[in-house]
Chain A
Amino acid sequence: MNNFVHLNAKTIDEAVAALAQGSAWANAGGTDLVGTMRFHCLPATLYPSTIVNLKKIPSLDYIKEENGMLKIGALTRLEDIATSELVKGKWLALAEAAEKTASPHIREAGTIGGNICQLNRCWYFRKQNNVFDCVRKGGSLCYALAGDNRYHSIFGAVKACVAVNPSDTAPALVVLNAKIVTTKQTIEAEKFWDFGIPGSTVLADDEIVKEIQVPAPATGVKSAFVKLAIRASIDFPIVNCAAAIGAGDARICLNAVYNKPYRATDAEASIKGKTIDEASAETAATAAVSKAVALSMNKWKIQAAAGVVKQTILACK
């Protein structure tokens, strides 16, 4: 990787001020950023001249419950969320999603803030030495569209890009009605992600995530998370799904199927208020992918996504 200036920020203000200077990236766990820096997958112009380390900022690493609201500091490691009895209690889908993320080592270093801000994993985007200068890097082509898109979007392109959001925790946060507190705003999880070059969130260049807030689910709501990947560890999802169902409501969200987490509202409407069984889950799963459109190589992924939705719903039984 090329050289850059390193800043160990001591406070949020210091970090934000450094980021506001431009050409700077914030670094939390480093499990996405270090590789992105190392492999020159982006054009040189997109790389920062400053890395702002957030890990020395005190008081951003906590899991607590305040007035029924789960509050997680942005620097909290995924492993701590996965093993937290508090999170496993009322917010099981989130604990399961954290537990299924990547590998143990990545979870020990990777933070919840970083996990929701990570760049996409499209293999064209990530190819070393910027072999594919794609739309997500300011280029004019999406190579996956005409190329091997077996793992890409089943809900269409955004600005011609069919890369997917790879986060495991994101759909759990969406179905659990989480809010993301940043240095500029408090935003519903569902509205947090967007197409960027090269980013995947609505964050401004000088904006960082401070806290995740998750309200207590209503009594009777059960949540679950299911992930399909080739391997049981290390892998990013082929497709994942989180659901929170009960108390007359249903929230279902898929990820790794679209540029951002995909709220399966048709499936929610289908299952809402119904008894969960094989048949109702199957019907809802079919509804979840009713608007799916296959690319040249990923028709199978529509079925796989439906299968994962079905299993997630059944897990909420």
Chain B
Amino acid sequence: MKFTVNGEERAVEVAPLKRLLDVLRDDLGLTGTKEGCGEGECGACSVLVDGELVDSCLVPICQVEGTQVLTVEGIAPSGQLTPLQRAFVERGGAQCGICTPGMVVAAHCFLASGQPATNEAVREAIAGNLCRCTGYTKIVEAIQGGAGSAGDGRSPKGGALEEAARR
């Protein structure tokens, strides 16, 4: 199965139902992505597939062929941090760190969507990333502080629904 990870073409020969999470960690040595629950509840395994946020513990590798995968390792070139990641460090957005890779990937995806980084919008974007240590306040502040960190202008998701709901 061939697919691109962090801009690099990779190929693996594994069972088709092997989880993308396990392929990333065990076959490709990219251990930044974590397993928190194995059931799509906690988001520690979040990665982007073709720009969309997914829980890699729920994605079978047979469905990844030909896609572009972005993991936390691919968010910044090695040894550097993006403004978002620096904001996490400086504002106390990470304590034990187990949720952090997934949070950073989810935040990166949110910032790329171009939506205004309001408290509500940021929390909705990371609602699938559970954290037990920080209480979320500093994570939200870090994401709001890291706005301008990633932006390719993909269309926002939530905004027009409020209008639709009024019909």
Answer whether A and B are interacting partners. no
Interface residues of B (CB under 8 A from A): none
Interface residues of A (CB under 8 A from B): none
